[in-house]
Amino acid sequence: MNKINSKNLIWVPWMRRALQLASLGEGETSPNPLVGAVVLDKEGHILGEGFHSRAGSPHAEIEAFAQAGNNAKGGTLIVTLEPCCHHGLTPPCTEAILKSQVQRVVVASNDPDKRVAGKGISTLKKAGLEVINGILKKEADYQNRAFRFRVKTGRPWGVLKWAMSLDGRTSLSNGESKWISSSKAREYVHQMRANSDAVIVGGGTVRMDDPLLTSRGIANSEPLRVVFTKSLNLPQQAKLWDTSVASTFIAYSSIAERNHLYQFPDGPKRIVLNKSEPIELLEALALKGCNRVLWECGPRLSSAAISSGCVQELAVVISPKLLGGEPFGTPLASLGFKSMEEVLLLNQVLLKRIDQDWLMQMCIPQFQD
């Protein structure tokens, strides 16, 4: 836990504002991080604000300087992530910072990207600027947990969502599951999709539910929709095959292709894997620029995703209904531990009432390194 020097506490409210600005890019910036920035003049009055809105668009610092005009000399830049110092899709922000002649840069956290990783801050220090690092670091790292995880592991951050009855069922024994949760809770899930880069379901859910899996227009760019199948036993007609609303990928192994003469529908693209392992799929999605994926599958793929360490966070909607039945439709089918030492411990990050339902969001700390 890094302690903030008390004289630096004055930057905390400004950093909070910068974090708020950064969040405006949620779901749109991948593979880039969320970043927000504020520029103050030398008296501490606000001159400009900015955030990174999507990969390829100007970085947050550049947006904030554009608003500030030529008045930043001697002032302060507050930014949620270490400024970049390399030529990516846009020129280095360190150059723009030096050109602006601010005298101080306040940063929340280092950029884990190898091309930056401390070099952005050292460039500014070498040029004689005061750099204060670590203001609201914990909050900033949490906000960018998906980006940081993807940079560290080469796999996107996985969020597994399910909706269940109070007695822990995700469907009736005949497979019907529409709708366990309220329409308001389902709207919340549309928002979760908008904040994700891809939504993944298994073949079982496509055959049973024929889902659409879009954010219903909340996202500027809809997340990729991914159907993960081992058998290629998929219907010829499905809502997901209409790619006029969002892209769809069918992910399968080359073994399935050899064994199955599946007539691929026209719309979806293909991801061919060696084996049908969740990790392999996630590595392929990271290469497509995904920082965060939302697993919206049924019990079988959910178990496989959790047991292979592909889920870092859970979002569970609990609905005040009793579905009953013999053990069936429980969220994690085959995932069963044999001793209490093995079970997964969760950290609760959110408990929220949505209409008559409850949403619990939890992290799985064990799968975060």
Residue 201 is a binding residue for ligand NAP (CB under 6 A) = yes
61 is a catalytic site residue: yes
Give the burial class of 261: count Cβ atoms within 10 A of its Cβ; 0-12 exposed, 13-18 middle, 19 or more buried.
Answer: exposed
Within 262-281, the residues that bind Zn ion by CB under 5 A are none
Active-site residue, from 28, 49, 61, 296: 61
Residue 318 is a binding residue for Zn ion (CB under 5 A) = no
User: Which residue's CB is nearer to ligand NAP, number 259 or number 366?
Assistant: 259
Within 233-252, the residues that bind ligand NAP by CB under 6 A are 233
User: Which residue's CB is nearer to ligand NAP, number 80 or number 303?
Assistant: 303
Angle of CA points 61, 217, 163, to nearest 5°: 105
Site string for Zn ion, 71-110 (x = CB under 5 A): -------------x--------x-----------------
Give the burial class of 295: count Cβ atoms within 10 A of its Cβ; 0-12 exposed, 13-18 middle, 19 or more buried.
Answer: buried
CB neighbours of 87 closer than 8 A, spacing ≥ 6?
none
- Please report how close the Cβ of residue 151 comes to Zn ion at its closest, in angstroms: 15
Within 267-286, the residues that bind ligand NAP by CB under 6 A are 276, 278
Half-sphere exposure in the Cβ direction for 349 (13 Å, CA):
14
- Please report how close the Cβ of residue 75 comes to ligand NAP at its closest, in angstroms: 50
Residue 119 is a binding residue for Zn ion (CB under 5 A) = no
Q: Taking a C-beta distance cutoff of 8 angstroms, is the pair 129, 103 a contact? A: yes
Residue 300 is a binding residue for ligand NAP (CB under 6 A) = yes
Q: Which does 93 bind (CB under 5 to 8 A by kind): ligand NAP, Zn ion, none?
A: Zn ion
Q: Beta strands 76-79 and 36-40: pairing type?
A: antiparallel
Residues 199, 80: Cα–Cα separation, whole Å = 27
Structure tokens at 296: 């919206």
The 3-state secondary structure of 172-231, one letter per residue? CCCCCCCCCCCHHHHHHHHHHHHCCCEEEEEHHHHHHHCCCCCCCCCCCCCCEEEEECCC
Structure tokens at 49: 């604000």
Residue 59 is a binding residue for ligand NAP (CB under 6 A) = no
- Please report how close the Cβ of residue 311 comes to ligand NAP at its closest, in angstroms: 13
Q: Which does 292 bind (CB under 5 to 8 A by kind): Zn ion, ligand NAP, none?
A: none
Residue 231 is a binding residue for ligand NAP (CB under 6 A) = yes
Q: How many CB atoms lie under 10 A from the CB of residue 239?
A: 15
Site string for ligand NAP, 11-40 (x = CB under 6 A): ------------------------------
Q: Which stretch binds ligand NAP (CB under 6 A): 110-118, 136-144, 198-206, 348-356?
A: 198-206
Q: Taking a C-beta distance cutoff of 8 angstroms, is the pair 77, 39 a contact? A: yes
Residues 335, 42: Cα–Cα separation, whole Å = 58
Q: Which residues of 51-60 are buried (b: 16+ CB within 10 A; e: fewer)?
A: bbbeeebbbb
Q: Which does 319 bind (CB under 5 to 8 A by kind): Zn ion, ligand NAP, none?
A: none
Which residues are marked as active site? 61
Residues of this chain that interact with ligand NAP (CB under 6 A) are 162-163, 170-171, 175, 177, 180, 201-205, 208-209, 228-231, 233, 276, 278, 296-302, 304
| Binding site residues, Zn ion, CB under 5 A | 59, 84, 93
